[in-house]
A and B are shown apart, each in its own frame.
Chain A
């Protein structure tokens, strides 16, 4: 029971480079989310998806792209990384039906540093 995994766990990149953060869940949850965690801001929503091929912007979507061709994967791409995107990124998933449809399950996070 792998649950929800993120890769890489740590990443250092340079300004202007493209970076993709991976998120994979084994529960077949319909909902998936990307949040970023910054000191003084808590967690803020970047993008979310209610099902495969359905995505929607959150509070801080600029500079990020997502796709969801398969239910279990929800990659987040920084098209041209900037220093302000240095953060810890959390992926989460949740059910659309059945028990605990209001609970989100979080991955372990990816710590991204943009130099």
Chain B
């Protein structure tokens, strides 16, 4: 079946530190890959996505590259801010708007 594995949290970083959250996937076919973010007390919102191998998604200083050879989609940011504190979910689907398969989420806390 299809599945997503992401690094367990929580992750605590100081402001301006470098962030990496690892995500690997297993899928039949060629999935689209997503990172969603959930700020405290809110629903999820799309952070970035990539739909084919070697695509790089980017938004708000975050980046992730679709690596088919390693089945990975790691999230990175060069300099985190306190406002980036949230839970980050890696997810995939196989086509269009079919249901998403989520990882378990990684809680990030950034301290000033």
Residues of A within 8 A of B (CB): 4, 30-31, 33, 35, 40-45, 48, 58, 90, 92, 94-96, 101-109
Residue of B nearest to A44 (CB): B102
Give the docked Cα–Cα distance between A39 and B40 (Å): 15
The verdict on A42 contacting B44 (CB below 8 Å), with A96-B97, A102-B32 known, is no
Contact B102 A102 (CB under 8 A): no
Least CB separation from A107: chain B residue: B43
CB-CB < 8 A to A101: which residues of B? Answer: 96-97
Q: Report yes or no: A94 in contact with B97, Cβ–Cβ below 8 A.
A: yes
Q: A42-B89, A107-B43 are in contact. Are A95 and B104 (CB under 8 A)?
A: no
Would you list which residues of chain B between 26 and 54 have a CB under 8 Å from chain A?
Answer: 32, 34, 36, 41-46, 49, 51
Q: Are B44 and A106 in contact (CB under 8 A)?
A: yes
Q: Which of chain A's residues have a CB closer than 8 A to the CB of B41?
A: 108
Specify which chain B residues have a CB less than 8 angstroms from the CB of A92 in the assembled complex.
Answer: 43-44
List which B62-112 residues lie within 8 A (CB) of chain A: 89, 93, 95-97, 99-100, 102-105
Which residues in A have their C-beta under 8 angstroms from that of B43?
A: 4, 90, 92, 106-109
